[in-house]
Chains A and B, each alone.
Chain A
Amino acid sequence: MVLTDEGEQLRRKSLEFLWMQNRDWVSMAEEGDPLIIEGGKGLRVTDSQGNSWIDVNGGYNSVNVGYGRTEIASAAYDQMVRMPYFPQGTTTVPAIQLGKKLAEITPGDLSRSFPVSGGSEANETALKIARAYHRRRNDDKRYKVVSRKGSYHGTTGGVLWLGSNPAAPRGDFEPEYPGMLYGPQPNSYRCELGGTTPSECAYRCAKSIEELILNNDPDTVAALIAEPIATPLGSPVPGEEYWPMLRDICDRYGIVLIADEVICGFGRTGKMFASEHWGVVPDIMTVAKGIISSYLPLAATVVSERIASQFAGEENYLRHVFTSSGHPVSAAAALKNIEIIEKENLVDNAATVGEYFKNQLMGLKENHKIIGDVRGLGLLLSVELVSDRRTKIGFPKELRVAERLNQKFRENGLIFRVGSEILNIGPPLCITTSEVDEIVSVLDKSLGELSTEVDIK
């Protein structure tokens, strides 16, 4: 393929001057990477060589309204021309409107937002609020935080120790933050505690968290943080019992329940917020990504009045500041983004097209023995590959299953990053059933080829 001079020059410069996520510049150079993305519309993006791609990842599960929404650009522009920025001690009209909007659409008594610029900052803020909350009530011993193996809550110095993911080892950044406790992930396909149905697994996993708390002195535990559905190991939907049990356990031991809706929020799972599937209201909820469909950086920590009221009064305020908190341009863009989600009923579309998508994947499973499990909710879906359905064993490293798939998807016009044998799907919520068919047909073809190559029949 002939590259335009400018595109090739840019690509070389990117290898020289940029430090990109999860890639290194030597192997990228060898593979002719990186792609330089230049335009987008709906589900599709175009690179500097004119190739069109379907973005099955939806950015980072984050471009909920899809690409090419010029209304959001106009809203951001209008705000930036008028009032580009001001620190959050004073405030601005769009920051207030967004705070009000979040209070309206979040469940229960979640009503006060601390706006920040990304999911990591939102979760850091949640942890700080949880610890400080207990101290304001003179419950001074509480500092431990329960998270779950196979969860992910961010990359900054506090939250990077929450959850765990074998694909992202943490040894580079030791020593670990004190007070981290880890519960099991309620994944009934591979239940750590031997549960054979979603219900049984959910019950055992929730009980196990209670035991963890009891074994570590409940009076020392500040918070429990969890995604309604965790994505790193493939979107396992917990059995119905799980979330109500977590809520009860937190109430019983005076522990703050933090729901990380960074990925799940804003329609991804077919409800505005995934906690709604189980009628559970957390004490603190964090949102990012879909709140603005990634058009600009924005996130928020949304807190119930019960928690926030401990910080009312001049002597009690929370000492915590970020320069870009409540950024008026990001807030104006987020408001427009939420308006699109509501006006176009994208939450309903996530539920209905998500179900269609899942059914198509179930259909694939019938024809491909290599598929061990299909799971997820709304447009947060996963396919787990196995070498043997009975033993659920994966593949030897030397077969390079993820690399093979990445190459096949790329050859077939999909942006669909695969890091392991678990394929995570999170496209824009405006996806149509015919676009689902396109993706599924590439999956069908690619999995067929892969099965032959790794000798699965």
Chain B
Amino acid sequence: MVEVPKLAKDISELRYSALNHLWMHNRDWVKTGEDGGPDIVVDGNGIEVTDIEGKTWVDVNGGYSSVNSGYGRTEIANAARAQMEQMQYFPQGTTTAPLIKLAEKIASLSPGDLQRSWPVSGGSEANETALKIAKSYHKRLGDNGRYKIISRRGSYHGATGGVMWLGGGGSSRSDYEPAVPGMIYAPQPNQYRCEFNGRTDEECAIRCAEAVENLILFHGPDTVAAFIAEPVSASSLAAVPGDPYWPMVRDICDKYGILLIADEVITGFGRTGKMFALEHWEIVPDIMTVAKGITSSYLPLAATVSTSRISDVFAGEQNLFRQALTFGGHPVCAASALANIEIIESENLVNNSARTGLYLLNKLKELQENHPIVGDVRGLGLLLGLELVKNRDTKESFTPKSGMSKILNKEFRANGLILFATDKGVSLSPPLCIKRSEVDFIIDGIHKSLSTVEKELSIL
């Protein structure tokens, strides 16, 4: 067992090791060290985690929008141990019982005729697999010119070499140029900042969907392989598209023979108050990717789920889809996923996400009335976003120079919240087992934090 040090001297030695030997996300080791970091978490229960100094935090981020069933679920650990003691691993080609059961379970939960799962270890791999399936699907049909992929500005689909070029709009890509050929970008149906000046949700949705069609016509429909999108984009602070959007996108894809890939990595497994978010619009994609909530991050697992119409073209020895990943279909991860899904179902966490999500959304809207910097409050289920603005009339965003997000992040910390703000705003995605009293605690912390920001930046 990995011992947790208790003495201050040992803790500081551990922290020193982290600063010297770990390359962490989205921060550097010099600044982290100067700030007394990194934080080291050692324990968790429900929506709370405890750090090595014994301080307890409320995890409003839910890991990376991923710990759907919450922390401290011993049942998942028991399932993982039982499987690992019996059969630790075997490559796909042969297979293992928990993986078969998981694939059957995914097929039974997924909308429509989505039924065949290619299991992998993370959302990036799942989306890479989806793109590869889409590109080779067309080639199997002799439709060789299709290679372009449409994604949407403000979306995010992963960090590996193919999918990192999807979506975007941030600053991180120039480090890694050149981009993969054939990337095309459509608008994000975010009514608060509609690129086409749609004044209502419906109008913005219709114009953004029409823009997808225009883009396809401009590029030549027979050069486009797939359209990929999150049902509700977390990286666009949970902008929920107006109702016409998804049915129109489905029709457009059908009209031009383009595969529709739904990235449910964040939205899947109850996050938005349905098991999968596209159910809100009763849309069945051709390929759906899932990760995060499928194991609540207790172990790395993800999957690319295809309809038979797609997977059938790869049947037969000559038509094989050529891809292998060492850890694809890991039996211990599959056993954990099954235990996790059982918790989601038996505790009705999807319903709780819908109900408590609505409660949280309404509380956030109340906050908006008292806080001028809250420009927009939106989201679905327990995937919610606050867009923060300098001025509500002009909707002008904060710049890094304003220091807004720095103050806000500091205040969230001071109020015991693990919640990350950028200068654009804040997205909330706590574990789905969250209670109303916990929502009230979070709202109180956000209220205090926003007040401090407004005071320090003299925004009234």
Please name all residues of chain A whose beta carbon is closer than 8 Å to the beta carbon of B314 when the two chains form the complex: 19, 24
A19 contacts B325, C-beta separation under 8 Å:
no
Residue of A nearest to B315 (CB): A26
Residues of A within 8 A of B171 (CB): 319
Q: In the complex where A19-B321, A83-B44 touch, is A295 in contact with B2 (Cβ < 8 A)?
A: no
Q: In the docked arrangement, what's the CA distance between A172 and B138, Å?
A: 9
Least distance between B369 CB and chain A CB atoms (Å)? 32
Q: Which residues of B contact A417 (CB under 8 A)?
A: 93
Contacts A34-B93, A63-B89: A179 and B300 contacting too (C-beta < 8 A)? no
State how many residues of chain A have any CB contact under 8 Å with chain B: 131
A303 in the interface, Cβ–Cβ < 8 Å? yes
Check A112 against B115 for contact (C-beta < 8 Å).
Answer: no
* Majority secondary structure of chain A interface residues (helix, strand, loop or mixed): mixed
Nearest-CB residue, chain B, relative to A66: B88
Which of chain A's residues have a CB closer than 8 A to the CB of B236? Answer: none
**Bound-state Cα–Cα, A431 to B130, Å:** 38
Q: Is there an interface contact between B17 and A96, defined as CB atoms closer than 8 Å?
A: yes
Query: Does A97 make an interface contact (CB < 8 A)?
Result: yes
Minimum C-beta distance from A221 to chain B (A): 14
**Chain A positions within 8 Å of B163 at CB level:** 156-157
Quick check: is B316 within 8 A (CB to CB) of the other chain?
yes
Q: Which residues of B contact A (CB under 8 A)?
A: 1-5, 14, 17-18, 20-31, 38-44, 49, 51-52, 61, 63-64, 66-67, 71-74, 76-78, 80-81, 84-97, 99-101, 103-104, 106-107, 115-119, 121-125, 128, 131-132, 135-136, 139, 147, 159-164, 170-172, 174-178, 180-182, 291-292, 296-300, 304, 306, 311, 314-317, 319-330, 332-333, 418
* Contact A87:B63 (CB < 8 A) given known A77-B77, A124-B159, A157-B128: yes
Q: List 23 A-B contacts (CB under 8 A).
A: A18-B92, A22-B93, A72-B88, A76-B80, A76-B84, A80-B77, A82-B44, A87-B25, A87-B64, A118-B325, A124-B161, A132-B176, A143-B178, A156-B163, A157-B128, A157-B161, A288-B326, A297-B327, A312-B29, A316-B28, A319-B26, A323-B300, A324-B297
**B178 near A324: Cβ-Cβ < 8 Å:** no
Contact B106 A313 (CB under 8 A): no
Cβ–Cβ < 8 Å partners of B320 in chain A: 22-24
B-contacting residues, A291-346, CB 8 Å: 293-297, 301, 303, 308, 311-314, 316-327, 329-332, 335
One digit per residue, 1 when the CB lies within 8 angstroms of any chain B CB and 0 when it does not, for chain A 29-40 equals 000011111111
Quick one: which of A18, A81, A93, A314 contacts B103, CB cutoff 8 A? A18
Chain B residue with Cβ nearest A28: B93
B35 to chain A, nearest CB (A): 10
> Does chain B have a CB within 8 A of A441?
no
Given known pairs A20-B92, A90-B41, A121-B122, the reply for A308 and B23 (CB within 8 Å) is: yes
* Contacting residues, chain A, for B40 (C-beta < 8 A): 90-93, 96
Across-interface contacts of A199 in B (CB, < 8 A): none
Bound-state Cα–Cα, A311 to B25, Å: 12
Instruction: Please determine whether A84 and B23 come into contact, CB atoms closer than 8 angstroms.
Output: no
Partner of B27 from A174, A178, A317 at Cβ < 8 Å = A317
- Which of B72, B103, B125, B328 is in CB contact (< 8 Å) with A121? B125
A285: shortest Cβ distance to chain B, in Å? 13
Which of A8-16, A209-217, A243-251 interfaces with chain B?
Answer: A8-16
**A17 with B115, Cβ < 8 A, contacts A37-B94, A39-B86, A319-B26 known:** yes
Asked if A96 and B44 sit within 8 Å, CB to CB, the answer is no
A128 touches B175 (CB 8 A): yes
Query: Out of B42, B100, B164, which one reaches A36, CB within 8 Å?
Result: B100
Closest 5 pairs between A and B when the two form their complex, measured CB to CB = A157-B162, A158-B161, A319-B172, A99-B21, A172-B136
Q: Taking the complex as formed, is A138 at the interface, i.e. its CB lies under 8 A from any CB of chain B? A: no
How far, in angstroms, from A83 to B177 measured CA to CA in the complex?
37
Minimum C-beta distance from B118 to chain A (A): 4
A81→B1 CA distance, assembly (Å):
11
Task: Give Cα A22–Cα B319 distance, bound, in whole angstroms.
Answer: 10
